[in-house]
Amino acid sequence: MSSLKLGLQLGYWGAQPPDDLIPLVQEAERLGFDSVYTAEAWGSDAFTPLAYIAAHTTKIKLGTAVVQLSARTPTATAMAALTLDHLSNGRVILGLGVSGPQVVEGWYGQPFSKPLARTREYIDIIRQVLRREKPVESGGPHYPLPYTGEGAWGLGKPLRSITHPLRADIPIFMGAEGPKNVALAAEIADGWLPLYYSPFRPEVYADSLGSMRPEFEITQFLICNINDDLEQALMPVKTMLGFYIGGMGAKKHNFHMELMARMGFEAEAHKIQNLFFEGKRMEAAAAVPDQFADEISLCGPIDRIKDRLEAWKETPRACARSQRFSDATTPRFARGRSIERPRQAFERPQRANKAPAAGQ
């Protein structure tokens, strides 16, 4: 493809909110970044920071990557999206995801069963709210509207949003990892938010994306870490992967581990998980293959990143969501010229791709 849009992935907060949120996003907007994305897990929410960002920016698109389905009913999510879309003058991208059973059942107190069917119903209801063609109704088993089940008073009736949405077609993206979920995104969503994607292994998702429409957009999570020492540059990536593949899920069912296995690193994925559950977190991070960490990120000296970026430019309909790090060994994109360095890495005349191996 001839161009690659840039997004800034802020993620969710840690123990405290970031102290440089607005300067960071304003600098990204000044540099021409297309979009900024927030997330949620079991702490900070995704919508509130975007409202704050909207008040301090004018052009950059405001995306959630992702809002968890179980955190809100479909109508509540639609209300938040249409409100923020008005406040931001039509800049919202609504990214949705099912999360995982540990969070859904442990934090939200809801069953995780039937994630694909739940997602289909959820998005249908949101689109009904946004179109505002008639009162919203849903006969599905997961989000019945009106509700007539156990405990109902029998007084509910279909309702239409009081507020007229600014846009009836707010883009809805799906965060998805499993083959069936990715295929569902290609069928019913406007875009896909992959967590791990390698431009050197397009076959991993080829079947799932076979029916995607021409306007379908893939907004890839892509860590960019500029450091003249490649080994040091990859360490934050490997630490993140060690945590997600090792512990962000149950021992018997971890979507991130399963994805790594499908991408050709099955034995390594199981080793990482075993080490993590043994309490050996540093060893789990060290066990992440350099090749895997390198393929799903852009790390190393800036000239190396420019060379490897060519493969990403060939991925379909792409926007790269660049993630920052906050440790002392990694450039902070928020300070002075440091955000310029990732931007510079993305600016180079197109060249022929080279198949990679870590260290090249």
The reported pLDDT for the residue numbered 3 is 73
Question: Which amino acid is residue 322, in one-letter code?
Answer: S
Report angle CA 259, 261, 263 to the nearest 5 degrees. 70
Q: Return all residues near 260 (Cβ < 8 A) that are at least 6 apart.
A: 196, 241, 245, 266, 268, 269, 272, 292
Q: Is the pLDDT of residue 331 over 50?
A: no
Structure tokens at 22: 């607005």
Q: Which residue has the higher pLDDT, 340 or 22?
A: 22
Q: In the block, which residue shows the tokens 């929410």? A: 45
Q: What is the arithmetic mean of pLDDT over 23-38?
A: 96
pLDDT band at 254 (very low <50, low <70, confident <90, very high): confident
Out of 3.40.50.720, 3.40.1360.10, 3.20.20.30, 3.40.640.10, select the CATH number for domain 5-226+299-345. 3.20.20.30
Domain parsing of the chain, residue ranges: 5-226+299-345
Highest-pLDDT range among 11-15, 92-96, 199-203, 251-255: 92-96
Of 172, 215, 174, which Cα lies nearest the Cα of 193?
Answer: 174
Q: Is the pLDDT of residue 63 over 80?
A: yes
Mean pLDDT for the chain overall: 89
Q: Cα–Cα distance between 191 and 185 in angstroms, integer?
A: 7
Specify whether the CB–CB gap between 335 and 345 falls below 8 A.
no
